[in-house]
Structure 1
């Protein structure tokens, strides 16, 4: 019985690992289900902290998963249409406080950047970069979970909501897991 409780506690810790909690990040909904399928969407609705490798694994066995439309390498496949109520309006030079909730550590690298959603490419230099992130060898420094970014002038690329996101990206080669969260915004 004792080992079952210990196993359950470990499984609970391993369920999810990290997301942006402020500003409001993208979440799953009906538009995601239409392209990513019910099982992948259900997984993210019950565990928004999960990694993209898990989503690919789940999706690959589902008939309603369309990997061409559900690009989990962009915002975990979370769709803009499910998140239109959470669009931020940023200005060039604005300092934006970011809060991350990390539930488990896996040594890796992390960055925050602005990504063009049509091409899934960065359109400016990284806004912040952590060469060693969430190290299993140390406590997590506060500046890895609460930090500021300065929004560059991307008004020509990001003047329409949905064209760009602020993306937090954490890649752990130690665990072969990648986590991300996206904040929808426009700049006018």
Structure 2
């Protein structure tokens, strides 16, 4: 009985925390502006489990805290992490997926002012992080995207655009997201 209680508790703890996130390139992390906009509970949830689903992040009803846009993490806390990419440049991503949940995933350029996609996704997976596989395909944790060549003058100012990794675990009904702030260079 004690062994089953131990394993049940261990399994519950493992499923309560740690699902997936991007570890490279640098993603947005919460700071004082995020706490001011979203509240201490939001920042606490974000720092307690950087890999947790959006559904576990409270927004405390704050009108400017949109957890479905970069997890609610504010650009102002991340100005030193803005990456510079050239049109057509290949950008390597590394993901950490300690608890996979099969579902669709993509990386897209997002206009941060409107929370809308700019163009087509840079990469899409119809089936990503399938927990039924003995081992995940390498392209689930290491993949590359090619920066668009048709953005014109879009995404040239810091805070205007981000590359957003978006993954939805279909059976788990959980959403995962990270944002990489960037500017396009000439």
TM-score bracket for the superposition, by shorter chain length: over 0.9
CA contact (8 A) 1:13 1:103 kept: no
Shift of 1:143: 0.6
Match of 2:27 in 1: 25
Q: Does 1:144 align with 2:157?
A: no
**Structure 1, gaps ≥5 residues long:** none
Spell out structure 1 runs of 4+ moving beyond 3 A: none
Kindly report the root-mean-square deviation, in angstroms, between the aligned alpha carbons of the 2 structures: 1.3
Superposed displacement of residue 136, structure 1: 2.0
Aligned residues between the structures: 181
Q: Report the Cα distance in structure 2 between the residues aligned to 1:13 and 1:162, rounded to whole angstroms.
A: 35
Whether contact under 8 Å (1:170, 1:178) holds in the other structure is yes
SS in structure 2 at match of 1:179: strand
Checking the alignment, whether the CA contact within 8 Å between 2:30 and 2:46 is kept in structure 1 is yes
Q: Do 2:105 and 2:165's aligned partners in 1 also have CA atoms closer than 8 Å?
A: yes
Aligned counterpart, 2:175? 178
Native 8 Å contact 2:18 2:98 kept in 1:
yes
- For the residue of structure 2 that corresponds to 1:20, the secondary structure is strand
CA distance in structure 2 between the aligned counterparts of 1:49 and 1:29, rounded to whole angstroms: 17
What is the deviation of 1:4? 4.1
| Residues 19-46 of structure 1 deviation map (CA, whole Å, 9 limit, x = unaligned) | 1100111111111111111011111011
SS in 1 for 2:64: coil
Task: Confirm or deny: 8 A CA contact 1:117 1:165 kept in the other structure.
Answer: yes
Query: What does residue 166 of structure 1 align with?
Result: 163
Which secondary structure state, in structure 2, belongs to the residue aligned with residue 35 of structure 1? helix
Question: 1:11, CA displacement in angstroms?
Answer: 3.0
Provide the C-alpha distance between the structure 1 equivalents of 2:77 and 2:6, rounded to a whole number of angstroms.
Answer: 37
Alpha-carbon shift at residue 8 of structure 1 (Å): 3.5
Judge which range, 153-162 or 100-109, deviates more: 153-162
So what's the TM-score if we normalise by structure 1? Answer: 0.91
Show CA shifts across 1:101-141 (max 9, x none): 00101111000010000011110211110001111221211
